[in-house]
Structures are given as structure tokens and as C-alpha cells.
Chains A and B, each alone.
Chain A
Amino acid sequence: MKRNNVIIVGIVLIAVLALIIFNPNKKDSGKTINLMTWGGDFIPREIIDNFTKETGIKINYKEVISNEDMQSLLEANPDQYDLAVVTDYMVDILRQNGLLEKLNKTKLSNIGNINSVYQGNYYDKKDEYSIPYAISTSFLLVNPEAIADLGAEPITSYKDMWQPELKNNIVLIDWSVEIIGLVLKSLGYEYNETDPVKVGEARERLFALKDNIVRFETNTPEDSLVNGEAVIGFMYSNQAVKGQAANSKLQPVFPQEGYPIYIDSWVMSKEAPNKEAAYAFLNYIMEPEVAAKIGEITNFTSPNKAAGPYLSEEFRNNPMLNMPDEVAANTSFYIGVENVLEEYEHIYSEFKLK
């Protein structure tokens, strides 16, 4: 009796398995877009739902963890995805590998809303393949009062981080290219320098910073400033926003020498199954009200200059959330990371072991 039950349960489970497996979303009839990018609210569901309500086009949102995952998935299944949002350097890679569709601007009436400051970059010089979506940067978040209490000079540039008064008071995001980039900038050089003399100089300079660093933390560096463990932190803009929200004394410093920029951009697969609907969606998210809403939900700077009037005052006037053009002018990309990664990783691990 009991054994028969086991077998019956087994048969039921197999039936369920079969039911679920043979019920895939095969309705690719021109009413569905498949897009992939980072998850959470990187593309707010509210926006997606509104779009579906207005146009009847359904959107499947595949969440992935990294640019490289998107590259693999797009290379393996170019006809499964319509749209993706990838970071600047990945646009370059995908474009060179011939995976991207040349965008038809006549189908994108709102393209004029995009701020030209964020266009014409190295990865897509003629803006043929990508549309900027979310702009972020990294810079210093500082606690000016605490810095004064330590007897150190106010911070305006990376150079100021080497003051001996700041011993054990700096938190840094934990990535070799960013940190060596910071040191290179402080010496007046560019990111991803390959000249061995300049890299050697940066190495010495980096080692001299060791005593001032209290922690390496990539996920929540802002917490070290909030709980008073550190007085300066080098971190991504959305982390700095969170830090300031938790403690209003914390202030952003955009170092004189310059800082990095990351432009996450829309791209369309060359073999996208539903290009028309994809164009409709791209055009929709470039509408000023929609772009403003996206900015406020994601806490990334919007590349949509027409969105300005629709942003809340608080968002518009915060340089971390709505980067002014003059702040954006002092940014640069990490180009050619693959050429320097090995050398930088080597120096960086030597530095961390010290």
C-alpha cells in the first residue's frame, strides 16, 4: 500500500514536471520583448508595466550579474534577446564582434533628448549602436568636520589623501584598476597607463598610501563613513548618495585631477526577434517624464537633458544624482583594461599584502 503511494506520488510529480516544461513562453508573436541587464530596479518595473499598459507589448526582463554574462548569452543566443543594457567598454566589445544592430534613428523620435555630453564616446563614436541610459561615476565622499578635527587640510584632490594626519582613516573600493587609476590621476597621468616608468612611479606612490587606509570594501564603503570608522571614502556615486542620506554631514568631493565615468547604454541585438517593439520601448524610455522617473528610482544620473524639469528639486540640485555638465567634463573612461589588468593586479596584491 505504502509503496504504491510512493509510485503514485512519483507519477504525479512527473506529470507536473512535464506540464511545466512543455509550457514555455512560445508566444513570440511580435508582442513580447526580451531584454537583459542587471536586476533589482535597474529598469524599474513601474516603467515596464506602464509601457505594457500603453502599448500591449509584454516585456521579459532577464536579470544577469555582469557585462561578461551578457556577452556570453548574446553570443550563444543572439536571436533570443532584443535589448540589453551594458557598460561602455562592453558596447565596444559587442560592436567589434558584430553582435549589435545599427540603430535606425528615424524610429527614435526622442533621441534628440539625449545630452550630447554623453555621446560620441570611444566605444561608439558616431552613436550608431548605443543609447546612454544610466550615468555613474566614482569620487570621494568626505566628512569635512572630522577631517578638520584630525588637523588635516580640507580635501579637494586625490593628492590630499596622502596627508599623514589621515592615518587609518580612508576606505577604498577594492579593485586594482580603480585604485591604481586613482594614484595615476594623482600623479597627473591617465587611467590604464602602460609606460613602465609611470606605472613604477604609481606603485611607489600607492605603497605610500597604505598607512592611511583602514578598510577595503566594495559593497558598502559608505558605512565606514557613517559609523565614523573613516573620514574619506573613494566609492561609486550611488553608494555616496546612500552615505549622505544616512549622515548629512558627509559631502562629495570631485577631485581636481578627474574621476572615472561609467555609461550604461542600451544596445539592440543584430538578430533581435522583435525589432519594431524594441524601438518602441527605446523611444518610450527617452520621453522626458519617463527618463526623470527612471533617474529618481535608480539613483543614476539621467543622460536625458529634457528630463531636467521633471526631476524633483532635491534630485536636480544634488551633483551626485544629477551630475552637472561641467562635472561630467572632467571624467574619463577605463579603456583597455585587458592590457593592464595582469600587471595592476600584481602590484595591487603586493600592496595589500604589505
Chain B
Amino acid sequence: MKRKTNRFGIFYLSFFFVLLYLPILSVVLYSFNAGSSTAKWTGLTLDWYRQLFNDRVIGEAFTISIQVAVLTAFLSALLGTAAATISLTVTRKMKKVIQGLMLLPLLVPEVALGVSLLLFFNGLKLPFGHLTLVLSHSLFCVPYVYIMVLLRLQEIDASIIESARDLGATKWQAFQTIILPLIMPAIVTSSLLAIALSLDDVVISTYMSGPASTTLPVHIFSMMRVGVTPKVNALCTLILVGTFFIIGLNQLIGKSSKTGGYLIEKK
């Protein structure tokens, strides 16, 4: 009986993954197609990759996207970790309020967020560009960092911190030497997530970028009017490879975090 369900489970899982990854695989395949139409396979070529690397505009948009993503990840890691640490020290009621306010940006529709940020930054007379992009992306990335770091913080045994304080560590020393290393994996993981979210954003970026700072996803979507070339397939393939690399990295970090947790419980 148990065997049967197991077999069905395997069948279901493989079906699920095939459905999930086959379309993505076709993008990879067609990035090597000689013809410009996705309707016919006309031969193997690396032409689209060559064109991609010679495309100045894609290069510039990519650079801007990466800069914004990294800065966003850093800023949201900083703000999210601070918020999570603070929310542990406040009253339960206050913690609920912080939590609610943290999750709000995720519930507001992106277009509404984009337009209100546009009006807000406009009122502040901030120059649109990297600054506004990083600030607005952080707005929807901070909640993820907050949630992941808070979950990790709640796992930490309070007695460790207490003993550190007993032995004469200042609050900052206790945070720096005990809490920070323990939550580091969560911070890194959520930062990687923030990078992915920032690289992915189209709607808010459209409103937040200045006259000279188009990001990569906006560039790709804005090509629709003229028509998208297989160059974009090549680009997607490269992004895919990059994503797998980041996910792999993340898995490695996740593994080491587990052993870290184990050691503490053992003690």
C-alpha cells in the first residue's frame, strides 16, 4: 500500500517538474536557433550570444540592474535585520504593530506603490535614478529580510545571550559576537532573495528610474513595440545560469547554517 502511493508521488513530482521546467528549457534551446522565428528550428548558432555581448544598451541596463540589486540587498539586509532585532526587545503589542507595518508594502498593488512613490519622491525633489530605485526596491525587499531574520532569531536560546551578558559583554558585544553570527545565514539568504526580487521588478522600476537609468527587465518589456529578437532568449539563458549559481550558493550556505544550529542545541 505504502509502495503504491510512493510510486504515484514520484510520478506526480516528475510530471510537475517537467511541466515547470520544459518551457524554460525551450528558451535555452531557441537561444541557439539560427532563424529569428521561434516557429522553426533552422540550425545551430551562437550568433545571438555574439549580438548580445555587442549590445551596448543591454550592457548598460544590466549594469544598472546589478548595481541597484546589490545596493538594495545591502540596504534591506541592514534595515530588515535591525527591525527584526528590535522587535524582539519590545513588548508583544508593539511587535505586532511592527510586523503589520512591515508586511503592508507586500499587500499594496505595485502600480499604486509605484505611482505614490513617484509623487512622494517628486515632492522631496529627489533626483530620479539609482537613489530612488534602491529606496523603492528596498521597500518591498525589507519585509522578506525581516521575516527570515526574525524566524532565525526566535530559534536562538535566550540563555546564551544572558550568559554572555553575565560574563560582562556589552549589549553590542553580545549582538556582534553571538547573535550576528547565528543569524548571518538568514541575512545572506534573504539578501540573495532581495537581489532576485530587485532584478525582477518591472512596474516600480518604470516609475522610479530616471531619464538615463533604464533597468534590464524594463528594457526587455519595452522592446515589445518593435519586436523581441532571440537575443532575449540568449539573455534569459545567461540569467538562468546565473540564477542556478545563486541558488546553489544559497543551498551551500543553508547547509552550513544547519550544522551551526545543531552545535548550539548539542551544547
Interface residues of chain A, those whose CB is within 8 Å of chain B, are 3, 6, 10, 13-14, 16-17, 20-21, 24-26, 34-36, 38-42, 45, 60-65, 69, 72-73, 76-77, 80-81, 219-220, 222-224, 226-227, 238-239, 242-243, 245-246, 298-299
Contacts and interface: CB of A to CB of B under 8 A. Distances in A.
Contacts of B74: 10, 13-14, 17
19 contacts: A6-B180, A17-B134, A21-B134, A24-B129, A34-B211, A40-B219, A42-B226, A60-B212, A61-B214, A65-B221, A69-B207, A73-B118, A77-B118, A77-B128, A220-B37, A223-B39, A226-B37, A226-B40, A239-B227
B206 interface: yes
Given A3-B177, A25-B212, A63-B219, 18 more contacts: A13-B71, A13-B74, A20-B67, A20-B130, A26-B127, A35-B211, A39-B222, A40-B228, A65-B222, A72-B118, A77-B128, A220-B37, A222-B37, A226-B37, A238-B227, A239-B227, A245-B36, A246-B36
Nearest to A38: B225
Nearest to B181: A3
B164 interface: no
A73 B203 CA distance: 12
Contacts of B206: 64-65, 69
B209 A77 contact: no
B202 A65 contact: yes
A95 B206 CA distance: 23
Contacts of B240: none
Contacts of B228: 40, 219
Contacts of B223: 38-40
Contacts of B119: 76
A49 to B, nearest CB: 9
Contacts of A38: 222-226
B230 to A, nearest CB: 12
Interface in B55-86: 56-57, 67, 71, 74-75, 78
A164 B78 CA distance: 65
A17 B134 CA distance: 9
B211 A40 contact: no
B256 interface: no
A10 B176 CA distance: 14
Contacts of B26: none
Report, nearest first, the 4 A-B pairs whose CB atoms are least far apart: A39-B222, A40-B223, A38-B225, A223-B39
Contact of A3 (B36, B180, B226): B180
B210 A24 contact: yes
B14 interface: no
Contact of A72 (B176, B207, B212): B207
Contacts of A40: 219, 222-223, 225-228
A45 B211 contact: no
B67 A246 contact: no
A13 B225 CA distance: 38
Given A3-B176, A3-B177, A21-B134, A77 B227 contact: no
Interface in B84-135: 115, 118-119, 122, 127-131, 134
B254 interface: no
A20 B219 contact: no
B207 A62 contact: no
Contacts of A63: 214, 218-219, 222
Given A40-B223, A42-B226, A76 B118 contact: yes
A38 to B, nearest CB: 4
Contact of B218 (A26, A64, A81, A238): A64
A242 B57 contact: no
Contacts of A76: 115, 118-119, 122
Nearest to A3: B176
A62 B40 contact: no
A20 B37 contact: no
A239 B39 CA distance: 13
B222 A64 contact: yes
A41 to B, nearest CB: 6
A25 B122 contact: no
Contacts of A41: 226
B180 A60 contact: no
Nearest to B67: A20
B35 A246 contact: yes
B243 interface: no
Tell me which of B38, B210, B225 has the highest count of chain A C-beta atoms within 10 A of its own C-beta: B225
Contacts of B118: 72-73, 76-77
A190 B266 CA distance: 79
Contacts of B130: 20-21, 24
A211 to B, nearest CB: 24
A226 B211 contact: no
Contacts of B37: 220, 222-223, 226, 242-243, 246
Interface in B156-214: 176-177, 180-181, 202, 206-207, 209-212, 214
Interface string B11-53: 0000000000000000000000001111110000000000000
A103 to B, nearest CB: 21
Nearest to B232: A40
A42 B75 CA distance: 35
Nearest to A39: B222
A62 B214 CA distance: 6
B150 to A, nearest CB: 20
Contacts of A224: 39
Contact of A65 (B56, B75, B218): B218
A16 B39 CA distance: 46
A21 B209 CA distance: 13
